[in-house]
Amino acid sequence: MKSVNSLVLEDLIFDYVSSSPPQSFILYAGAGAGKTHTLHQVLNKIKEDILLSLGRENKKLAVITYTNAACDEIKERVNFDNNFFVSTIHSFAWSLISPFTKEIKDIIKENLKEIINEEEKALKKSRDLNNKTSIGRQERIRKSLKRLSSLESTRCFNYNPNYSNVEESSLEHSEVIDIFSKLLVEKKSFRKILVNKFPILFLDEAQDTYEKVIDALVQTQIEFHSQFVIGLFGDNMQRIFTNNKKDLSKFIPENWKRPEKIENWRCPKRVVTLINKVRFDADKFQQESKVNHNGFARCLIVDTNKPNLDKLLVEDEICKTMREITNDDKWNIRSEIKTLILEHHMAATRSGFHKFYKPLYDSALRSKLSAADTQSLRFLVGTFCEFINSVKSKNNFNIIRILRSSSDIFLDFSTVEDQLSYLKNIRDKKNELFDLLMDSSNSIKIILNYIYQTNLLNIPPLLIQALILDNYAVDADSSSSELIAYSQALDAKIDQLFKYASYIDGSSAFDTHQGVKGLQFERVMAILDDDEAGGFLFNYDKFLGIKSLSDSDKKNEAQGEDNALSRTRRLFYVICSRAEKSLAVVCYTKNSELLKGKLIEKEWFDESEIHLI
């Protein structure tokens, strides 16, 4: 790898893209290195020099980034030039697959038949066809058969990357990715369309791009190496999700360029020293702080053996301690401090949406919760919450807008004979819903069931199943099914759903590594607490060296597989690297002295920087 300064790096990447043949690359950089700034500068340089020639050939440069907000920022930086196609991966995939109706049908048919076959096999083995699990399987078969039948009359498919897609002709978010990857792998004609339309493709936050997408794109680049160039911008140490490549730099072809960017423009020197130590055992990549002050990093170890420990009160006292250490009065203002936790389960407990969250967390949905990445969750935090808010605030204009876009209630309105009575009936339903919402003891399920019974909104099939099956007894063997998880989550009060929605959109007082990727805060408090996390994906005691690794951990490490240690290291790195001025690492443990010794041994903190509470 080759480390270069920013200006030279931008010229270097431009040369990769504009050379003949072009050279694909992966930019290796850590937190705060300014990867996004480099991407913006390269795009502007390309705009000045080669974009016009691309436009003449009806070609574009595609930039795939992680969020809609990141897309908007890039579009603004390039002055909304239409010769750039800037989008999320879902929008990008849909733009290419949308004309392929026949191929989409074939893939969906194959998937539905597989689902039906699996569920029918499971039903044959069931001892009780009337328990909740079996009823759920039967409902899934019924829905799959219904969709299979509707495919025959489907002329085209619909998809909206920003909302839940519940109509039978709509594709789910996961389906768009699966279909795109499958077409790219199996059809050369589809690969040619991609290459001819987007000869230059940049992926921002490439470490969190779906593995199947990366595989397909890299294989396409290898096949069309003289016509198609890929640029990956990202950092494996900031990888969040499990459905992506574990080590991009090892996966990509050897002839790809690998420039480095070792600067850190965000974190003060003391914080960079810490994150370099944290990272060293993973890949030995080290950064240099370009911030002109030393900053502060402290570790505050809280003994959880103490009776009646009030953690929130303890953290208030820690803020006061940090104020004395840093001489920064804003440590006394909680709104000026970003509290970052390493696990969503902790956020659910602290932010008051635990009853809604826990059943989903304990199921196969766990990895989907950070971004509400399922059809049902997107509906709940999107259309459903917006509709509820509109009804509560009596915003009739917004209520009508939502009903027209997310309900069939106005679908045949033009054929209704007594339209006035029909509208009055809708108004009465809305007023009854308002009355239900005024009772704070009502659960999500009660509200959702009323909306289902009155046909006010189109509800995703899985949520309908959860409502329909609510009267059946829960089979003890079915506690991990998605259906049971949703059914139990819907028993939570409606305010818990709104707190969850607030959490995932970043407006909660607490946040995790997923919510703050790419962000920065002057004062950061990082909370490490195995007891409160309640999960098996992360383990701080193992990571910090006060608990031995299991045989499985050792085996995974030896084979280079992802494990609790590597996941926790990445999370801890991301959280600590958000700090612009000062960082407080709060560790809850039953082994305070042992932990203190391990931290000194690791040279993460000096003894004077560790405070026992």
Residues 361 and 473 in one domain: yes
Report if residue 171 sits inside a domain.
Answer: no
* 144 vs 25, residue with greater confidence: 25
DSSP-assigned states of every residue in 382-430: IIIHHHHHHHHTT-HHHHHHHHHHH-STTTTGGG-S-HHHHHHHHHHHH
Report if residue 590 sits inside a domain.
Answer: yes
The CATH number assigned to the domain holding 288 equals: 3.40.50
Q: Which of 203, 230, 261 is the last residue of a domain?
A: 261
Highest mean pLDDT among 517-526, 545-554, 587-596: 587-596
Residues 325 and 361 in one domain: no
Report if residue 397 sits inside a domain.
Answer: yes
Q: How is residue 493 annotated by DSSP? A: B
pLDDT band per the 50, 70, 90 thresholds, residue 105: very high
Rg over CA atoms, the chain: 26
Report if residue 424 sits inside a domain.
Answer: no
Helix (H, G, I), strand (E, B) or coil at 26: strand
Q: Which of 450, 479, 505 is the last residue of a domain?
A: 505
Report if residue 551 sits inside a domain.
Answer: yes
Residue type, 226: S
- Per the CB < 8 A criterion, the answer to whether 462 and 375 are in contact is yes
Indicate whether 413 pLDDT > 90.
no
Lookup: tokens for 418? 């007594």
Residues 235 and 367 in one domain: no
Report if residue 122 sits inside a domain.
Answer: yes
Residues 499 and 536 in one domain: no
Lookup: tokens for 100? 């392929």
Residues 187 and 38 in one domain: yes
Residues 531 and 474 in one domain: no
Domain that holds residue 116: 99-156
Of the candidates 140, 164, 148, which has an alpha carbon nearest to the alpha carbon of residue 478?
Answer: 140
- Kindly state the average pLDDT of the residues 59-88: 87
Residues 57 and 76 in one domain: yes
**CB atoms closer than 10 angstroms to residue 75:** 16
Lookup: tokens for 322? 């940090």
Indicate whether 349 pLDDT > 50.
yes
**CB atoms closer than 10 angstroms to residue 397:** 8
Residues 104 and 147 in one domain: yes
Place of tokens 């709940």: 380
Report if residue 164 sits inside a domain.
Answer: no
- Per the CB < 8 A criterion, the answer to whether 383 and 164 are in contact is yes
As for how many domains the chain has, the answer is 4
Output the CA angle 243-244-247, nearest 5 degrees.
140
pLDDT band per the 50, 70, 90 thresholds, residue 370: low
Report if residue 132 sits inside a domain.
Answer: yes
Distance set, CA 61 to CA 55, 196, 230, 328 (Å):
9, 11, 10, 46
Residues 457 and 392 in one domain: yes
Distance set, CA 98 to CA 105, 159, 597 (Å):
11, 9, 58
**Angle in degrees, 0-180, between the axes of helices 132-151 and 482-489, rounded to the nearest 10:** 110
Q: Which of 117, 137, 156 is the last residue of a domain?
A: 156
| Predicted local confidence at residue 168, as pLDDT | 65
Residues 84 and 105 in one domain: no
State the Cα–Cα distance between residues 427 and 454, nearest whole angstrom. 12
Mean per-residue pLDDT of the chain: 85
Q: To 10 degrees, the CA torsion angle through 154, 157, 158, 159?
A: 140
Residues 497 and 517 in one domain: no
Residues 82 and 214 in one domain: yes
